[in-house]
Structure 1
């Protein structure tokens, strides 16, 4: 008789999974372990199945309960909702409101998912931008292995863009042919031009335009021009950090990451709320949330 044990590997969806509105939906958390068949073997069967299903979805896929229930044949909306709560407490996902756009004035709803279970400290650091999450050891880039040859000879390193631009001066104008030693000596000055936003083509033009009829020392002339015509340092424009407000995975009430351990608020975790004040709990949370939105938009 054939083995009929259930599998946690989800079937491929019959139709393409719906995408959320632009900017919304699934977002993959950084520094995850590589995909493997037993990535969710520590979870119960239902949660393992849905976690594997979500893991295969692309970023931007719709993550609402109704869509997830309709996209796979095994579990309905109530089961999916319960499974998402379990995946949240297990450290695999968090629901977040986040600012996007150059002015950081638009708010979107996203679900961050990771196949690598994370604790509350990691999620807090990631969502608040306090520190960069640590890269997993097996995710670090590995050095390339040398290729064995009968007569191994190390390949010369590729020239830097600054060195290549200096070496190209003689092609642009034969009066500015530089030796290898001169290119190496001037490489640092040329690299500073590129660091300040100049292109290699602009650098070559600046060093070859308006030359005298005869150039007796192209290296000295290049050094003079590299120093005298050095472009100004461009003004720094720091990238604004997005504002993130976590939501309870179960009920959607907003709150700070430290107030939602496991991605759940106190009532949804099963902790006893203050007597006869369940409505006040939700009202206070939402009041703080909308006050924060107003401060951000000011």
Structure 2
């Protein structure tokens, strides 16, 4: 089978999209696609990596859909290849507890699959999924402007939710309000959820919308008793790429639970 060049494994333009909020999601600092981007992978995973990489955001990348969308591998082989991609650091499945819906006030779990053209280690994925998006690693040392935590969190919102992409001027304008928010609730994940949850279908002015959210969702001043209470249960859980078992990143090295790793 002529699959050595994984970049040639291109999906059809009609490849189905997942439901809104599901499907393929990119990660920052991917770098350009090269002929050897997936050369370190086994042949089957290399082929599927090229196929997934070419899919648009929110493209469906469950095993059943991928098996139907390409001619070489069936569903069982695709599942095995997805496990290989997960173990190599290219893919992670997660579930997040959504913000209460405006229509009924209830929360629900939403499921995302993150894809990285660059192989990432478990520590990187844990930081990314907790809302601490790692900075790009420059090939050569370059002078960088030192920004506050509030500025960086605002700038990183666009990586999680493209509708909230801000300019440098926007970030500087909102920096003080974000700093006050963070001083009252330092958890980066809660900040991201408060800013990105329950967005309208179209955001005409990300800066105006975030200014309102930073004001209206500002946490109360913490009392000493509140600061001493145990942290809330995690709202983001990684899922085993194979069986879907949820857990914290440290319990799923390579994105796989112990049973699936042992079985592989």
Report the TM-score when normalising by structure 2. 0.60
1:24 and 2:22 correspond: yes
Aligned to 2:244: 252
SS in 1 for 2:8: coil
1: distance between equivalents of 2:113 and 2:86? 10
1:134 and 2:146 correspond: no
Shift of 1:138: 4.9
Bigger Rg, structure 1 or 2: 1
C-alpha distance 33-256 of structure 1, shift in aligned 2 (>3 A):
same
SS in 1 for 2:93: strand
1: distance between equivalents of 2:110 and 2:8? 28
C-alpha distance 138-100 of structure 1, shift in aligned 2 (>3 A):
farther
Match of 1:119 among 118, 121, 125: 121
**Superposition map of 1:86-235 within 5 A:** 86-101=84-99, 105-129=107-131, 131-138=132-139, 195=173, 235=215
C-alpha distance 195-96 of structure 1, shift in aligned 2 (>3 A):
closer
8 A Cα contact 2:45 2:85, kept in partner = yes
Deviations 1:50-71 (A, max 9, x none): 0111011111111110101111
8 A Cα contact 2:21 2:58, kept in partner = yes
Unpaired runs of 5+ residues, structure 1, are 144-190, 197-233, 272-298
Unpaired runs of 5+ residues, structure 2, are 145-168, 175-213, 220-233
Aligned to 2:37: 39
Shift of 1:263: 0.5
Deviating runs (4+, > 6 A) in structure 1? 139-143
Match of 2:80 among 79, 82, 100: 82
Report the TM-score when normalising by structure 1. 0.53
> Once superposed, what is the RMSD of the aligned Cα atoms?
3.2
SS in 2 for 1:137: coil
Deviations 1:209-255 (A, max 9, x none): xxxxxxxxxxxxxxxxxxxxxxxxx837469xx93211101111111
2: distance between equivalents of 1:266 and 1:243? 22
Aligned to 2:166: none
1: distance between equivalents of 2:42 and 2:9? 18
C-alpha distance 105-85 of structure 1, shift in aligned 2 (>3 A):
same
8 A Cα contact 2:45 2:84, kept in partner = yes
C-alpha distance 248-236 of structure 1, shift in aligned 2 (>3 A):
same
2: distance between equivalents of 1:255 and 1:62? 23
